[in-house]
Amino acid sequence: MTGCRRNILFIQGVTRMGGSIRGLLNFLERMDRQRFSPMVATSANGEFTSELKLREVPYLVVPMGMWRKAKSWPKIPFSLLSLRRIIIRTPIHLVHANTLWDNPYAIGSAWRLGIPIICHIRGSWTPDKIQKYRIHRATRIVTVSRALMAGFIPTLIPRVRVVYDGVDLERFRPRPGGHSVREELGIGKDRLVVGMISRLDPLKGQDTLIRAMAVMQKGFPNITLLLAGETSRQDRWYRACLEELAQELCPAGTVIFTGFRGDIDRITNAIDVAVLPSREEGFGLALVEAMSAGKPVVATTVGGIPEVVEDGVTGLLVPPENTSALAEALKTLLSDSTLRIAMGKAGKQRAERLFDVKTHVESMQNLYQELIPA
């Protein structure tokens, strides 16, 4: 690493693929390597590190357990020492904690060295986390929606920046070829496909969606639900519950679990309606990806979702955990192809206007430049 390039250390402890990691990968792929040299610290090898290799981003494996879990405590001092050595030896000019949960590792390793630290808050949080996760010591706090600013004390507000996650509009543009994904998954040409791309997590509300599908079966027997996303080890019980629920409530073969997919752009283009029935949500990157592909969306009125989806224009918003409201919204779109096309077109225009990854990258790089001494 030579010249005037600044070295940025990204800390991403959790390795399960999801919106936070997708957002980071989108940024790493496009950041200006003439100005900044990235390095990532993560907890284990897996899909995430494979994606880093594809993007030629150097990374180091530093085991990092959940900060406030008792079983993590014996290892935390060693993790902090490893990160501190990386920061000093490289040397690192700025540390970027990619999620709130990674922030204590950033603070614990870099704060006393006087290194600027960014805490990126991508999901729902509560004010008690300010002290518990040392948010108050971050040089800047980046939130992915205005909704996530709620709860900050007045003295911290000047440090907060709202930067929407961005999407590669070219990758997710509408294109033919969705039929190949349907054939691969055994979905007939006459089926209407409702798709949800998200990790399998109780906060994401897949259980509510399956119940809504059961409600719709009588009037819409030609619907297939596609659930694309992986499950963490601690949430395997949830996938088992979802599979049992689908088997109990829906006809065989109408709910498909794909697990992790690296081709979410193809999956997105293969569906008719995208849905995200979250109980909590900081932003909703999958919704932006669907809108970029010209797909209408149905989602809940939580967190930053109302900033992404314009209700009645680019999609329909419903209360969380409301099975009947979710079913009615899906019925409205699935029964009217003209409405689906109109909302899909409006969603694509909104994504192009507000959520282009180029805008996101520029905003983040300007923040880096602001924080790193000349």
Question: Which tens digit of pLDDT belongs to each residue from 253-302?
Answer: 999 999 989 899 999 999 999 999 999 999 999 999 999 999 999 999 99
Examine the pLDDT at 311 and tell me if it is beyond 90. yes
The whole model's pTM is what?
A: 0.89
Structural class in CATH, domain 6-166+356-371 = alpha beta
Amino acid code (one letter) for 54: L
Instruction: Detail the DSSP E strand segments found in the chain.
Output: 6-12, 36-42, 59-61, 94-97, 117-121, 140-143, 160-162, 192-197, 223-228, 255-259, 273-276, 297-300, 315-318
Q: Distance between CA atoms of 13 and 8, rounded to whole angstroms?
A: 16
Second-level CATH architecture of 178-354:
3-Layer(aba) Sandwich (3.40)
Question: Which tens digit of pLDDT belongs to each residue from 114-146?
Answer: 999 999 999 989 999 999 999 999 999 999 999
Domains of the chain: which residue ranges?
A: 6-166+356-371, 178-354
Question: Which tens digit of pLDDT belongs to each residue from 254-264?
Answer: 999 999 898 99
Q: Do domains 6-166+356-371 and 178-354 have the same CATH topology?
A: yes
Question: Which tens digit of pLDDT belongs to each residue from 159-195?
Answer: 999 999 999 999 999 887 678 899 999 998 889 999 9
Residue 60's contacts (CB-CB under 8 Å, 6 or more residues apart) are 39, 40, 41, 42, 82, 86
pLDDT at 3: 52
Widest Cα–Cα separation across the chain: 66
DSSP string, 111-148: GGGT--EEEEE-S---TTHHHHTTGGG-SEEEESSGGG
Residue 160: C-alpha distances to residues 24, 118, 135, 245, 314 (Å):
19, 10, 11, 42, 28
